Structure formats: C-alpha cells, structure tokens
Amino acid sequence: MSAADAVLKPDFAARRKHFIFTDEHEALRESIRAFVINELAPHAEEWEETTFPDWVFKRMGDLGFLGLDKPEAYGGQGGDYYSSLVLAEEIVHARSGGLAMGLAVQTDMAMPPILAFGTEEQKREWVVPAIAGDAILCLGITEPDAGSDVAGIKTRAVRDGDEYVINGSKTYITNGHRAHAIILVTKTDPDAGRRTTRTASDQARPDAERSSYEGFTLFLVPMDTPGVVREKKLEKLGMHASDTALLAFQDVRVPASAVLGQVGKGFYHIMWELQGERLIGAAGCVAGAQRVFDQTLQYATERTAFGRQIGKFQVTRHKFAEMATKIEAARQLVYTTAWRFAEGHYPVREISMAKLYAARVAVEVADECIQIHGGAGYMKEYGIERVWRDMRLNRIGAGTDEIMLDVIGRSYGL
C-alpha cells in the first residue's frame, strides 16, 4: 500500500475536535459528561413527574459548573465562553430538556445581565450565591398579553420617593416557582414602546425612520418581596422537568437600588441578554439532535425487518445522511457564531440564523427519529417522543421562528 493510500483513507470514527475547543475544553467535557450520566440521567424519568430538585443547583455549584465562564472574583471559574458551550452540549446527556432549560436560565440568561449591567452590590448579592448554587434566578419578560412584542409589555414601575412600586404580571417563567430573585422587565415611562422618529440628517431621506425603545427598565427583585405572587404552576407539552410559573406583582415596593442597569434602557439591555440566550439554546439544540441521532443509529443496527437491519434499507440510510448533514451544518453555524460572540462582536443576524436553524433541525431530527423507531418511537420507554416534545419549545421560546426570520430579514434593510 502506498503512503498516499494510507493518508487518504477516511477514518469516520476518528475524534473530531473543532478549532474553538482546546484540550482543556475536552477534559471539561469529559468530566461534565461523567457527572451528568452518573448523577443526573438516572433521575430523568422521575423528574418528568416531580420537576428536578433544587439540590441539582447546589451540587453543580459545588462542582464549579454554574460559573464556568464567570469571573473568579464572584466565585466563577474564569473560563471562556466556549466552556459554557461545553456545558450546554453535555447537559443533553441527562436526557431531560426541562433540566437543561432550568440550568441555562441560571447560567446564560439571568446571570449575564447582572454581570454586564449590575452594580457591585448586585453582583455580590446575587451572582455569588447563584454561581455557588445557593440562589436560583429567573427572568421575566413575557406577559399574558405580550410575548414576541416585548415592547408591548404592561408591567409598570412607578417611582415613589426612594422606591419604585411595581404592578403587573409575567407568564411562562422558567424557575419561577423556585427562584429567589427575578430579573423583571418593566415600563418606567407609561408611553414606552416603539417610537418612530426622524432626525435632522434623515430629512433628505424620507424613508429613513429610526425606531427607539426608551422607557423600559430592568429590576432585580427578590421573590420574597411582599406583593410577589407565584400564582400558578403551568402544565406543558414538554420540558416537564422544569417549573413554569404565572407570576403577579401587586404593589411590589423595591428600593431604587433594585434597578438593574440604566433607567429607561431596559429594552436594549434585554435585547442583549436575548442574544446569549438564543445562542446557548441553539448549541443545546444541536447537541440534543446529535444525542437522539446517536441513539436512533444504534436502534437501526439492532432492529430488523424483512430479514435485515432497518438501517440497511436505503431509505433509512438516506434519512440518517440527511439528518447528519443538517446537524453538522447547524453545528458549524453555531460554532462560528459563538466564535464571533466570544470575540466581542454583536452578531445579531447570525445568532438569529443559528437559533432558527438549530431549533428547526432539532425538531426535524427528533421527528425523523420517532419515525425510524416505528411504534417504539411513540412509546415513553424509549425517550424519543420526549426529545420531540422538549425540542418543540425551541421554535417558540426565546423568540419564535417567525421573529427570527423577521430579525434576519430586517437586517438587510427590508
């Protein structure tokens, strides 16, 4: 055999490491996966019934997994953004979408805005215990009458001396029943909303309109503040291991020091937060799709029909080929976008593309995997139907497919 033959022979089983990950990331990956498989996955079925217990936060805090990319000054590991990506990818081996979501709310949705916009006191009061797993956080944007249209929220915060008085409600709030504090999006200006203005320099271009979203303010509110009511535990199609709350805020008085970030700039703060939320969600979608693909590939080599492994039917082989190609394309989009995000860019268009595409791929793959399993795919015992139910949320939560398409379309000036 010539040297060229030896070099050119493909090795499909070879370990494939992406350039964004170092050997340290891979070592972290191994240790997270071992923990997830040994300590979390065995409870997956039970937690579908009970929701996952709070000790998971404490245990993961003790292991350092809740602060992988957070500053050491607040008890974090001081790692880079990719270490958070590793957690999002490995947590799928717990086989519990609800668990992954509850943890991501803590690490990638609630903590980042406190670190980015909070005062030193707010970071000490909430980020330090959140990283340790002693405090659980949630994020309140959505309301019964406003989800996609964030600017349409009605929760009001009115200044009264040194305090603010908050009234309103939030719904579909992940971790809402267990949380110790909520990041709350409010209106501090009663006329807040989308305003279209023209500046003097736009006069020559009558079509040049600028939208401004002033008058929204974020608050960091302890959930034991009088007037915060955890109204209802909501029942869902999937993500059963997470708790989802309807919350009411009735004359909730907080000091002015509870403002998170700048008064009036909350809309921009929360739009920044949503970028990290969407990107980490996209990474979870790719990893979840890969896991269910692998499980189904194994099944396709074991199950026989008409005297053959079902994976040997060309139609099945092509289903796997289609799925693998889409998963890989989604992965590359997520990784390249994550690289830009980690480099300090603000790649809103690409994050929207990654979120849209990865969520669609995850749902398509889960659906195809049910099909390849036949009747077994429809049975709870195989866990495939749960992946489909859990993944389905990703086309809705953190911005629907339609909103992602709109963000992408508008980014071209349309």
Q: What are the start-end ranges of the E strands in 239-370?
A: 244-255, 259-260, 304-305, 308-309
Helix (H, G, I), strand (E, B), or coil: what is residue 328?
helix
The C-alpha atoms of residue 365 and residue 295 are separated, in whole angstroms, by: 12
Count CB-CB contacts under 10 A for residue 318. Answer: 10
Among 211, 317, 402, 409, binds ligand FAD (CB under 6 A): 402
Segment contacting ligand FAD (CB under 6 A): 84-92, 142-150, 271-279, 287-295? Answer: 142-150
Residues 275-294 binding ligand FAD (CB under 6 A) are none
Report 99-118 residues binding ligand FAD (CB under 6 A): 105
Mode of pairing for the β-strands spanning 195-197 and 137-140: unpaired
**Residue 129 and residue 144: Cα distance in Å, rounded?**
30
Nearer to ligand FAD, 77 or 352 (CB): 352
Active-site position among 89, 125, 277, 385: 277
> How far apart are alpha carbons 286 and 133 in whole angstroms?
26
Q: Which is nearer to ligand FAD, 28 or 99 (CB)?
A: 99
- Shortest distance, position 374 Cβ to ligand FAD, whole Å: 29
Among 35, 65, 81, 172, binds ligand FAD (CB under 6 A): 172
Query: Catalytic annotation on 277?
Result: yes
Bin 10: left if φ > 0, else alpha if -120 < ψ < 50, else beta. Answer: beta
Whether the CB-CB separation of 253 and 226 falls below 8 Å is answered with: yes
Q: Nearer to ligand FAD by C-beta: 332 or 411? A: 411
Q: Quick one: 2 or 196, whose CB is closer to ligand FAD?
A: 196
Shortest distance in whole angstroms from residue 302 CB to ligand FAD:
33
Out of 107, 142, 275, 337, the residue judged to bind ligand FAD by CB under 6 A: 142
Nearest to ligand FAD by Cβ — which residue? 147
State the binding string over 241-280 for ligand FAD (x if CB under 6 A, else -).
Answer: ---x------------------------------------
Which residues are CB-contacts of 172 (< 8 A; sequence separation ≥ 6)? 142, 147, 234, 244, 245, 246, 397
CA distances from 252 to 69, 72, 163, 212, 360 (A): 33, 33, 10, 28, 40
Chain residues in the site for ligand FAD (CB under 6 A)? 105, 138-142, 147-148, 172-174, 236, 239, 244, 393, 396-400, 402-403, 406
Q: What residues are annotated to the active site?
A: 277
